[in-house]
Amino acid sequence: MKTTEEIFQILKENFPNSELTLKTDVPTEPFIIIAPFDVDKISLFLRDNPDLLFDSLMCLSGVDDFNGQKVKDENGNEVMQGGTLSVYYHLESTSIRHKLVLKTSTSRDNPEVVSVSEIWNSANWHEREAFDMFGIKFINHPDLRRILMPYDWEFGYPLRKDYQNPEFYQGMKVPY
């Protein structure tokens, strides 16, 4: 079993060129912040290294950090410009029985993260959900379609903080 601090040291030795940050002063378990385009190679290492063996991606979640510039658009609605969207990965090793949390942040205006669906198959639908709710594009995903909202939903990504619900969808009134 390894703590997040020990795993962080192993990652630092093996990825000297990658940007890695350990975050411990949080009320939750500590996590490691990585760059959005390093996610796939770090994930593959975490899965296959005999000391780590993270064989299970328990959860992959999108988050709207809501840290950009609040601007009024032409209709008077408040929209967010700049800032970041984040993806959290909760990993577990079922053989060594240790856990790890990874975080990566990507720009809100062009949110792109490398997909890990080739590494953990469970990521496939989780990434589709993060795409559906936040509009985060997962590069190399085999089938990046909406998963919960209707396929013809063209009113944006509902879990973004500045999301505006449409008045009508397919002739049906949406607001109460």
Partner 1 sequence: MGLLDKEFSDGNIIITTTEDLFNWARLSSLWQVGFGLACCAIEMMATSASHYDFDRFGVIPRPSPRQSDVIIISGTVTLKMALRVKRLYEQMPDPKYVISMGSCSNCGGPYWEHGYHVLKGVDRVIPVDVYVPGCPPRPEALLEGLLKLQEKIRQESLVKKSA
Pick the binder of partner 1 from 25, 74, 150, 167 (CB under 8 A). Answer: 150
Stretch that binds partner 1, among 25-33, 39-47, 92-100, 161-169 (CB under 8 A): 161-169
**Residue 78 interacts with partner 1 (CB under 8 A): yes or no:** no
Q: Sort 131 into a burial class: Cβ within 10 Å, 0-12 / 13-18 / 19+.
A: buried
We find the least distance from the C-beta atom of residue 143 to partner 1, in angstroms, to be 18
Residue with tokens 């085999």: 142
Q: What is the contact mask toward partner 1 in residues 91 to 110, using x (rule: CB under 8 A)?
A: --------------------
Distance CA 35, CA 107 (A): 11
Sign of the alpha-carbon dihedral angle for 107, 46, 116, 148: negative
**Residue 26 interacts with partner 1 (CB under 8 A): yes or no:** no
**Contact between 64 and 160 (Cβ < 8 Å):** yes
Using CB under 8 A, list all residues that contact partner 1: 148-150, 158, 163, 165, 169-170, 172-176
